[in-house]
Amino acid sequence: MRRRIASFFNEFGFFKTSAGRNLELELGVAVPMGYEHHNVQAFLLKCELRDFLDAITIIWRSVRISHGLARDEAAWVKVVRRVFQEENAGYRVDDQGGVHFAVDGEFDHNVASSLAALGSSRYNGVQAAFQAAQQALDETPPNGKNAMRSAFEAVEILFRLIFPKAPRLGSAEIRAHLEPHVQAHLSEDKTAARATVKLLASFSDWVDGVHFYRHGQGEEEPTQPPLSLAVLTVSTAASYLRWLAEFDAAQ
């Protein structure tokens, strides 16, 4: 993967840009010098993974500034995206050269649809917390604990926006505030009301499960959750956020 991307960097002539100097300024690393330019290709082959992933974005910005040609920026994104896919790298790159942790298309769709449901300025705090969860997954290595904490925070902020009298988000608060509103809202559809109340029990279990990682673990070196658990937690949070936002809008 590294060799292919580094080769494309030189093939596109990007070694003539300010990428090498920008890498030094942004990452605080030493990029070796070549005959006339920084040897970014050599740097990409040997640097730490987190620096390599950050370099993808810094190179995109450098090309944008130096060339000013959208086709060159797009070409860089296109080739990096293709290499990531073909090498099953576990990362994806956006149109601005940003590198993100990749799960699968369904996860991305779930997250995107939830953010779309939170488009109102009323939900700015919710959006910020949920985006922090995504950013935690984008860290190298992914910070699953912070992802879970931020995902919970996003759901809790939204819950308390809907129910200002609720002091927190917990099982008791779900039963005291959300369940009566659901039953009243679905009073004419008894089947939907019964089904939703059952699903609220799952919501309560999700809340209780995340609490294990929200508070101190009583260990000298707190452990990170399995990545699959962090991804499941964030994905489930996305679904709850979308549902709660729709419930809020319907009131």
Would you state the pLDDT for residue 69? Answer: 63
Nearby residues of 34 by Cβ (< 8 Å), 6 or more positions away: 15, 42
Would you state the pLDDT for residue 163? Answer: 94
Q: Please, are residues 51 and 27 in contact by the beta-carbon 8 Å criterion?
A: yes
Residue stretches of the chain with pLDDT short of 70: 67-70, 215-222
Chain position carrying tokens 């298309």: 105
Would you state the pLDDT for residue 81? Answer: 93
3-state class (DSSP) for residue 92: strand
User: Number of helices (H) and strands (E), helices first, in the chain?
Assistant: 12, 2
| Euclidean distance between CA atoms 151 and 193, whole angstroms | 26
Domain boundaries, the chain: 2-97, 105-250
Would you state the pLDDT for residue 31? Answer: 92
3-state class (DSSP) for residue 30: coil
Would you state the pLDDT for residue 55? Answer: 95
Would you state the pLDDT for residue 106? Answer: 76
